[in-house]
Amino acid sequence: MMDASEPAGGYRTAIRRVAVIGCGVIGASWASQFLARGLDVVASDPAPGAEARLRAAVARHWTALAGIGLSEGASPERLRFVAEPEAAAEGADFVQENGPERLEVKRATFARLDAAAPPDVVLATSSSGLMPSAIQEACRHPGRVLLGHPFNPPHLVPLVEVLGGERTHEGALEAATAFYAALGKRPIRLRRELVGHVANRLQAALWREAFHLIGTGAATVSDIDAAIAHGPGLRWALMGPCLLNHLSGGAGGLAHTLDHLGPLMEAMWADLGAPRLTPELKAALVAGLGEALAGRDADAMVAQRDAILIDLVRRKREAPDLP
Residues in CB range of 132: below 8 A, 6 or more apart: 125, 145, 146, 147, 163, 164, 165, 168, 193
pTM over 0.85: yes
CATH code 3.40.50.720 region(s) in the chain: 17-189
pLDDT at 232 over 70: yes
Task: Let me know if domain 17-189 sits in CATH 3.40.50.720.
Answer: yes
CATH code 1.10.1040.10 region(s) in the chain: 199-238+276-317
Task: Let me know if domain 199-238+276-317 sits in CATH 3.30.1370.60.
Answer: no
> If pLDDT is split at 50, 70 and 90, which confidence band does 296 have?
very high
Residues in CB range of 75: below 8 A, 6 or more apart: 35
pLDDT at 9 over 80: no
* Mean pLDDT calculated for residue range 300-311: 92
pLDDT at 164 over 60: yes
Q: Please state, in angstroms and rounded to a whole number, the distance separating the CA atoms of residues 311 and 4.
A: 47
With CA atoms as reference, report the closest residue to 19 among 109, 103, 104.
109
> If pLDDT is split at 50, 70 and 90, which confidence band does 297 have?
very high
Mean of per-residue pLDDT scores for the chain: 95
pLDDT at 240 over 60: yes
> If pLDDT is split at 50, 70 and 90, which confidence band does 168 have?
very high
With CA atoms as reference, report the closest residue to 156 among 302, 32, 319, 310.
310
Q: Are 129 and 101 in contact (CB under 8 A)?
A: yes
What pLDDT is attached to residue 5? Answer: 64
